[in-house]
Amino acid sequence: MDKLEQIKEHAKELNLNYLRINADKIVEEADLNDYSYQDILIKVLDSEIGLRDKKAQERRLKNAGFPVIKKIEDFDLDFQKSITKKQVNRLLEMEWIDRMYNLIFLGPPGVGKTHLSISLGYKAVEQGYKVSFVTMDNLMHVLKTQEISRKSKGKMNRILSSSLVIIDELGYLPITREEANLFFQLVSALHEQASIIITSNKGLEDWTELLGDPALTTAVLDRITYRCELFSMSGKSYRLEHRKSLF
Ligand code: ADP
Ligand code: MG
């Protein structure tokens, strides 16, 4: 076996994928540029770390479960005045996740609640945080079936080990008493260990009716709003204003 083959074999054994794939190129480049031994080693190790980070990020993005990718750069702050550029920049620093602050985006359909949530989640993934996105409807299904469905159990484990959990569309579909209890238990579990983003078309004052029990609602709100930024988003629906027409 020649030396290059030997390098590739060892790299494979050690899971050094960058080196395994690029061994020839690295050696050639080093020869061509007269790299020092130290330069070569640094280059290989740097690239290996870079590749691992990239793979880990791709995995985190896939596991986050975003229904679509939305970018914060595409969010028009002139259209949605309820959140300022300064606030967005502050949120992009991600300090709120480190400090386990929650965000609540309230408002009618089309004002950008989901867009903002996903784009913040996307940036968090980019910066190395573990993020889970679920709709309230999907969350209820997962909570109710986690004992009997391996898929739900897996999703639940991911949610419970995330630094940021995005729960989209609270209030669009009615919730049973059992579901409200499960929701409370989840919020209790996440409280003190993760940040939560909740989007809802219902004001906080309507959550009691939604969750069906004043004591339970108080307990839920108590935990969520303890460290929390609330954005009441108003204005017109972006969808309606930018309605696409065929003719
Ligand atoms: P909501 O969740 O409040 O119902 P969405 O976030 O789903 O609203 O927004 C509806 C559509 O309009 C999405 O395609 C979203 O990307 C777009 N949108 C909403 N607000 C804005 C905005 N301020 N700038 C750019 N696109 C927006
Ligand atoms: Mg939405």
Q: pTM to 2 decimals?
A: 0.92
Ligand number nearest CA of 167 is 2
User: Cα 127 to the chain's mean position, in Å?
Assistant: 10
Q: What tokens does 25 get?
A: 């190129």
Residue-range domains of the chain with CATH:
3-60 (no CATH), 72-241 (3.40.50.300)
Ligand 1 pocket by C-beta < 6 Å: which residues?
70, 74-76, 79-80, 107, 109-115, 199, 238-239
- What pLDDT, in 10s, does the model give residues 49-108? 999 999 999 999 999 999 999 999 999 999 999 999 999 999 999 999 999 999 999 999
Question: Residue 139 in contact with residue 167, Cβ under 8 Å?
Answer: yes
Q: Which residue has the CA at smallest separation from atom 10 of ligand 1?
A: 110
Q: What tokens does 150 get?
A: 């391996």
Q: Which of 223, 142, 137, 158 is nearest to 188 (CA)?
A: 223
DSSP H helices in the chain: 3-13, 17-33, 37-64, 85-92, 95-98, 113-126, 136-145, 150-160, 177-190, 207-211, 214-225, 238-241
Angle between helices 85-92 and 113-126 (to 10 degrees): 40
Phi, psi of 174, rounded to the nearest 5 degrees = -60, 150
> CA 229 → CA 150, 162, 220, 244, distances in Å?
35, 19, 15, 33
- What pLDDT, in 10s, does the model give residues 198-246? 999 999 999 999 999 899 999 999 999 999 999 999 888 998 888 887 7
Of 1 and 144, the one with more pLDDT: 144
